Structure 1
């Protein structure tokens, strides 16, 4: 059995300034900090002789391959993404970067920020623009209804109760995501 896997579907090529900054920071961390450290460990381990039974050498080389793979991905991805750093003219509609509060049929409200596929984290309120809910929300206004089909819950209805945009140069926007979430 080969190692070939079908390519993953490409995600949207949009990212927020904060998401781009995090990817760049990860790239610098991997290339300037982690890779030199692991290279040094592998170099020292190689001096010890038999490499076939040398754990530091074997696992160091494996980690170098992982780092190099991630560096290649990040470099390529940062070249192809578009940083959305301009707020939309019509702020009464849901677009990329919006904080959207939705209410479900039970009356529970949840707030999400619509972000790029490279930066989403549902536990932190960041929803990928490629997700079914975000796709349904795009272009909607307050009091609009969206219906999303999920495998575990079937059809779920949501109503848009609030739409908020923050300036991309706002220090809260560029800082910690928890400081960004509306309360």
Structure 2
């Protein structure tokens, strides 16, 4: 039989694409209260609003007859699978999340989860990163995951410490200039 008439199963590829980022063995999924609230709000929006709306469209499209050529039905079923996959992902991540409030470290000069750290690289260029959870870090906002190489190098350091950062170009020494945390609220 020609390959043109065989069906490739893409469900495994879809699952891998949305698979949770791997956590180091024996560690927890740390998350700030704000990050937890954002993920929970997304989950509730999917469950309470988006999924019922798509189910309604699929039900209406199915009642129109021939489903094989019905775009609303086919797209709706595909969208339902995407929503269900995201719901499963969010549910698993929230179940294993350990919410940690970084404001408890307010006023300290040691780097812990949730710290905003200003550091200087060997060329003297200053950079600033905030260490957050895997599911909430956004590199475009200067946020890094607590398991990233830069965060691992900075964790437990104090202002004024020089730490070793392993980069693809080789090890670099960076100096911690400032450590801050959000104020308790």
Q: How far off is 1:112 after superposition?
A: 1.1
Selected match of 2:94 from 78, 81, 93:
78
Q: Which segments of 5 or more consecutive residues in structure 2 lack a partner in the other structure? A: 1-7
Could you say if the C-alpha distance between residues 7 and 128 of structure 1 is closer, same or farther in structure 2, counting changes exceeding 3 Å? closer
Residues 1-183 of structure 1 mapped to structure 2, 5 A cutoff:
3=12, 9-10=22-23, 12-85=28-101, 87-88=104-105, 91-151=108-168, 153-169=169-185
Q: Which segments of 5 or more consecutive residues in structure 1 lack a partner in the other structure? A: 170-183
Q: Is the 8 A contact 1:93 1:139 kept in 2?
A: yes
- Structure-2-length-normalised TM-score: 0.81
- Structure-1-length-normalised TM-score: 0.82
Could you say if the C-alpha distance between residues 81 and 65 of structure 1 is closer, same or farther in structure 2, counting changes exceeding 3 Å? same
Q: Is the 8 A contact 1:17 1:168 kept in 2?
A: no
Aligned-residue CA RMSD (Å): 2.4
Q: How far off is 1:17 after superposition?
A: 0.7
Give aligned pairs, total: 168
Q: Could you say which structure has the larger radius of gyration? A: 2
SS in 1 for 2:127: strand
1:98-122 residue CA offsets vs partner (Å, 9 max, x unmatched): 1111111222212111111010111
**Structure 1, 105-114 or 125-134: larger mean CA deviation:** 105-114
What is the distance in 1 between the residues matched to 2:106 and 2:184?
14
Q: How far off is 1:126 after superposition?
A: 1.2
